[in-house]
Amino acid sequence: MGIIRQGIFGGFEGRTGPLVGRKVKGKSIIAAFPRKNTKPRTAAQIDQRLKFDLVIGFLKWLKCLIAIGFKDPDGKKNSFNTAVKYNFKRIITGTSPNYSIDYSKLVFSRGSLAGPNSPSVSLETNTLIINWQPDVQQRFNQHTDRASFLVYCPGKIEIIIHTSSTERSALGYRIAIPQNFEGNEMYVFMSFSSANGKVVSDSKFLGTI
């Protein structure tokens, strides 16, 4: 049963007949009650679902990075949904039904801040060494910008995330790698965010190790 609050001009909540009332961000919304679609899905719809499940299944691991890198300053857009929409068009490869992800094209952060200058990555005794070069300090490139890092090992289906781990001025960072990663390919990424977290850079793929 639906309930009308604050008189006949108030918000309508609950279900009555084919209508459902609810509050979304303080606003009263009335919509038709969703009905199950009994029509069989087309091949195109099945392909679309396969791709979305693949992208969402991977990106959900990166929610802490996406919350920073795709944050809407106005708070109107969901950061995860925005990241899914952006990556969906870029990271899917292969043909139906054997789709896969091109991890090198992954983007978990987008913004106007400068990225790392001439970054490099190497591996020494279970430690990833990431370096970048000094750059001229300006509005979108501050020594106090904070660096975040992502390491993904598809062979082990494991991920390492370090958020806001060091300043741009450090010009380098070291990440300990589990021994079971040895002999497996690793995809390495990094990004920057301003000290107050309000501005971010595009995430950058540094290469595979």
Look up the CATH number of the domain holding residue 53: 2.60.40.10
What is the arithmetic mean of pLDDT over 108-115?
Answer: 97
172 pLDDT higher than 70:
yes
Co-location of 13 and 79 in the same domain: no
Please count the other Cβ atoms lying within 10 Å of the Cβ belonging to residue 147.
23
Using CA atoms, how far residue 15 sits from 7, 20, 24, 104, in Å, is 17, 4, 15, 47
More confident residue, 161 or 33: 161
Co-location of 15 and 75 in the same domain: no
Provide the whole-model pTM: 0.79
With the C-alpha atoms ordered 65, 69, 75, 79, is the resulting torsion angle positive or negative? negative
- What type of residue is 146? R
Domain that holds residue 147: 43-208
16 band by pLDDT with thresholds 50, 70 and 90: low
pLDDT tens-digit series, residues 27-39: 666 666 566 667 7
Co-location of 21 and 100 in the same domain: no
Number of residues written out for the chain: 209
